Amino acid sequence: MIALEFILSGMLAAATPFLLAALGELVGERAGVLNLGVEGVMALGAAIAFIIVYHGGGHILAFAGAGLAGALLSLLFAFAALGLQANQVAAGLAIGILGQGLSALFGKTYESLTVKGLQKLAIPGLSDLPVVGGLFVQDIVVWLSLAATLAIWTTFAFTKTGLLLRAVGENPKAAHSIGYPVIAIRVAAVAFGGLMSGFAGAYAATVYTPLWADGMIAGRGWIALALVVFGTWLTARIFLGACLFGAVSLAGLAAQAGGVELPSQLLASMPYLVTIIVLGIISSNRRLLKLNGVASLGEPFKP
Amino acid sequence: MSAARIWPKLMKRERPSLSIKILAPLVALVVATLINLLLYLVMGKDPVAVFHAMILEPFISFPSFSEVLLKTGPLLLIAEGLAIGYRAKVFNIGAEGQFIIGAIFASALPVWYPMATGQWIWPTMLLAGAIGGALWAGITAFWRVRLRANEILVSLMLSLVAAQVLNYLLLGPWKDPNGFNFPQSVMFQYDAMVPLIIPGTRVNASLLIAVALALMAYVFMQKSFMGYKLEVGGLAPRAAGYAGFSEGRAIWLSLLIGGFAAGLAGAAEVAGPIGQLQRSISTGYGYAAIIVAYLGGLHPIGIVFSSVVMAAIYIGGDNALVSADLPIAAVRVFLGSLLLSYLMAMTFVRYRLVFARQAIGGAT
């Protein structure tokens, strides 16, 4: 019971970096662009945010800086992959390597330093409930991420913007022929993805574990990419997937605290192993992927 | 379209330009160098000193150049294997993990039989490493072919797992009992080491193996029917299917070859310059090799040149760390910008730039 309480209260915070990055990637992929650079964009955002908070700039400025840096780095990807028609897979990898390099370069003198995270806000009443009470005591970014999830779900479900994004991803030729600026819409979607990945990195480095270590993103950007597939490009499922990963990353700690003897390396590998297994299960269901997949994902388009 | 008046437009060439294809890596190298030297200037480092240490030193000093040759071996091996897959559109980005597992498989022999002697030991280790790498890549192949999972994500996740497997062995069962608690295995015996080929340096026979395999890759990809089938199987699975080539087989073959080569490279590292299993067996070779493969135009001979260039960047980075106080992370920034510059330059193989005035006067 204690383990369950522990997981429930920490799950949303652990899920937030996955969720923010995956939501950003979702918007880009819905528009037909596969950006494999998420890990590097998150790493850059994390470094920028940490440096800003460390020097007393505060969390608002830190998130703004990280989001801006993430968007700019992703625009560089967009320039190569959409403007110049470069290979999308390779350009994404290049951005990822560049982002991780810049992150290590900027963060070098901050190794092992810590900053102060954010205070948790409790929802009165609900937070006093037994067992599930912890779910309702979260920092402001978690609450905002939930709002962002809802906003993106609404956008895709009900708005013209959502429809436009999907049209551009499903059939860019048709969208172009009825006069929509396909490339411009895709560039905007990629920039939004970069913004969200920057936020995700900022949250990881200045709120969730407010301590700088090179390589602290530790594959979370790649898991976010996998989450978009797990969620079969649907916002609600991506949210559930992110929560699952939040829980998985805490379950190990809970097991250890409960006296279960597991090598720490197995615990560290758990999110990766779960990703591989779930990816296998979801991908083998062709119907599911065909139903919701993006028809022209990763395909170049030249007007 | 008012946008066309401001931005130059890309126009498809009638045929791809071969000269640009050959020039692209060089242009990318120059552009990335200039951008990065500017970055070092902003960081307050002396760009002339960095340029000397990073770009010139590896080629003008023999001790430095011999280290370049030493690093060329693993990069060449891994990149040749990856390029075969990339040409078949199988994106194995998990060479890092296949390298680590190769090193682990190779190390099993000297760790379990530290007293064994005989000239058979190092070749057996290399073979074991190659098999280990291929097995690890085989997991990705199974996931891709049988479960249809994306090989990019699976191979990368497996690399992260491989790093943890290595940590587990070095902190647990394979830790050297007399190693002052450092996470490393025992030092390997003499017969576990690949013989040196240039006296006075650390360059060993694995470089010859890498070059030989590069030539084999050339024959396989450029001259053999099998290589052609592989490429078609990946590029146009439906067309290849009609002709009796299978996409599944192309994926299996691509990944097994890639894993075999990366595993061999990992084995050669522990049986060569390092001489034991330790945490830092790979300094990102598996990721750098992706860049090597692209920079070499995914061509077996082009990769020979790009692997030397990449090895020089590694050694140059080490030099600059010592003599110009350049952080090692700067090498990663350089690598990322190099690949990006190259991919952008490659655009002009297929397209040319048309400026607004010309476009208005032209047929469009």
Chain B stretch 14-73, residues whose beta carbon is closer than 8 A to a beta carbon of chain A: 43
CA distance, residue A52 to nearest chain B CA (Å): 18
Domain assignment of residue B56, yes or no:
no
Domain assignment of residue B127, yes or no:
yes
Count how many Cα atoms sit within 13 Å of the Cα of residue A296 in the half-sphere of its side chain: 19
**Predicted confidence (pLDDT) per residue in B25-65, tens digit:** 999 999 999 999 999 898 888 888 888 888 899 999 898 99
The mean predicted confidence, pLDDT, of chain A is 93
**A137-139 and A120-122 as β-strands: parallel, antiparallel, unpaired?**
antiparallel
Domain assignment of residue B35, yes or no:
no
Confidence of residue B4 (pLDDT cuts 50, 70, 90): very low
Retrieve residue A6's tokens. 């522990």
Q: Which residues of chain A does B148 touch, with a Cβ-Cβ cutoff of 8 Å?
A: 283-284, 286
Structure confidence at residue A197 (pLDDT) = 98
Confidence of residue B356 (pLDDT cuts 50, 70, 90): low
In the predicted model, what is the mean pLDDT of residues B132-156? 96
Domain assignment of residue B214, yes or no:
yes
**Predicted confidence (pLDDT) per residue in A268-297, tens digit:** 899 999 999 999 999 988 887 777 888 888
In the predicted model, what is the mean pLDDT of residues B270-295? 93
Q: Which residues of chain A does B337 touch, with a Cβ-Cβ cutoff of 8 Å?
A: 94, 98
**Predicted confidence (pLDDT) per residue in A227-277, tens digit:** 999 899 999 999 999 999 999 888 877 887 777 778 889 988 999 999 999
Put simply, the answer to whether A97 touches B152 (Cβ < 8 Å) is no
Structure confidence at residue A299 (pLDDT) = 85
Q: Is the pLDDT of residue B358 over 80?
A: no
Domain assignment of residue B97, yes or no:
yes
Q: Which residues of chain B does A72 touch, with a Cβ-Cβ cutoff of 8 Å?
A: none
Put simply, the answer to whether B336 touches A91 (Cβ < 8 Å) is no
Closest CB to B340 among A94, A214, A229: A94
3-state secondary structure of B95: helix
Q: Which residues of chain A does B285 touch, with a Cβ-Cβ cutoff of 8 Å?
A: none
Nearest to B314 by CA among B95, B83, B100, B73: B73
What CATH code would you report for A2-292?
Answer: 1.10.3470
Structure confidence at residue B47 (pLDDT) = 87
B196 and B202 Cβ atoms separated by less than 8 Å: yes
Phi and psi angles of residue B351, each rounded to the nearest 5 degrees, phi first? -125, 160
Q: Is the pLDDT of residue B363 over 50?
A: no
CA distance A33 to A25: 9
Which comes out higher in pLDDT, residue B174 or B326?
B174
Q: Which residues of chain A does B156 touch, with a Cβ-Cβ cutoff of 8 Å?
A: 219, 222
**Predicted confidence (pLDDT) per residue in B225-238, tens digit:** 888 888 887 677 77
**Residues above pLDDT 90, as percent of chain A:** 76
In the predicted model, what is the mean pLDDT of residues A16-30? 97
Retrieve residue A228's tokens. 């978009």
The count of domains in chain B is 1
Closest CB to B157 among A104, A108, A272: A272
Q: Is the pLDDT of residue A141 over 70?
A: yes
**Predicted confidence (pLDDT) per residue in B82-100, tens digit:** 999 999 999 999 999 999 9
Put simply, the answer to whether A265 touches B171 (Cβ < 8 Å) is yes
Which comes out higher in pLDDT, residue B359 or B32?
B32
Put simply, the answer to whether B160 touches A302 (Cβ < 8 Å) is no
Retrieve residue B27's tokens. 């242009």
Range of the structural domain that residue B80 is part of: 75-305
**Residues above pLDDT 70, as percent of chain B:** 95
Domain assignment of residue B49, yes or no:
no
Structure confidence at residue B2 (pLDDT) = 46
Q: Which residues of chain B does A285 touch, with a Cβ-Cβ cutoff of 8 Å?
A: none
Task: Count interface pairs A-B at CB distance under 8 A.
Answer: 143
Structure confidence at residue A183 (pLDDT) = 95
Put simply, the answer to whether B157 touches A91 (Cβ < 8 Å) is no
Closest CB to A100 among B164, B332, B344: B332
Structure confidence at residue B1 (pLDDT) = 45
Closest CB to B340 among A91, A103, A226: A91
Structure confidence at residue A65 (pLDDT) = 98
H-helix or E-strand spanning residue B352: strand B351-354
Structure confidence at residue B178 (pLDDT) = 86
Amino acid identity, position B186:
V
Structure confidence at residue B361 (pLDDT) = 46
In Å, the largest CA–CA distance within chain B is: 80
Q: Which residues of chain B does A86 touch, with a Cβ-Cβ cutoff of 8 Å?
A: 343-344, 346-347
3-state secondary structure of B354: strand
**Predicted confidence (pLDDT) per residue in A57-101, tens digit:** 999 999 999 999 999 999 999 999 999 999 999 999 999 999 999
Q: Which residues of chain A does B165 touch, with a Cβ-Cβ cutoff of 8 Å?
A: 265, 269
Structure confidence at residue A131 (pLDDT) = 80
Retrieve residue B232's tokens. 């078609």
Q: Which residues of chain B does A89 touch, with a Cβ-Cβ cutoff of 8 Å?
A: 91, 152
What's the ipTM? 0.93
Closest CB to A102 among B172, B333, B351: B333
**Helix ranges (DSSP H) in B187-326:** 206-218, 225-235, 237-242, 247-269, 285-295, 300-323
> How many other C-beta atoms lie within 10 A of the C-beta of residue A237?
17
Structure confidence at residue B5 (pLDDT) = 57
CA distance, residue A276 to nearest chain B CA (Å): 6
| A223-227, B36-40, B70-74: range with lowest mean pLDDT | B36-40
Put simply, the answer to whether A91 touches B290 (Cβ < 8 Å) is no
Q: Which residues of chain A does B145 touch, with a Cβ-Cβ cutoff of 8 Å?
A: none
Structure confidence at residue A137 (pLDDT) = 87
Q: Is the pLDDT of residue B80 over 60?
A: yes
CA distance A16 to A11: 9
HEC secondary structure over chain A? CHHHHHHHHHHHHHHHHHHHHHHHHHHHHHCCCCCCCHHHHHHHHHHHHHHHHHCCCHHHHHHHHHHHHHHHHHHHHHHHHHHCCCCHHHHHHHHHHHHHHHHHHHHHHHCCCECCCCCEEECCCHHHCCCHHHHHEEEHHHHHHHHHHHHHHHHHHHCHHHHHHHHHHHCHHHHHHCCCCHHHHHHHHHHHHHHHHHHHHHHHHHHHCCECCCCCCCCHHHHHHHHHHHCCCCHHHHHHHHHHHHHHHHHHHHHHHCCCCCCHHHHHHHHHHHHHHHHHHHHCCHHHHHHHCCCCCCCCCCC
Q: Is the pLDDT of residue B318 over 50?
A: yes
Closest CB to B164 among A89, A96, A268: A268
Put simply, the answer to whether B158 touches A105 (Cβ < 8 Å) is no
> How many other C-beta atoms lie within 10 A of the C-beta of residue B3?
12
Q: Is the pLDDT of residue A28 over 70?
A: yes
Put simply, the answer to whether A225 touches B153 (Cβ < 8 Å) is yes
Closest CB to A222 among B157, B168, B294: B157
Residue B315, Cα to own-chain centre: how many angstroms? 15
Give the mutation candidate from A25, A103, A216, A265 for the B interface (greatest B CB count, under 10 A): A265
**Residues above pLDDT 70, as percent of chain A:** 100
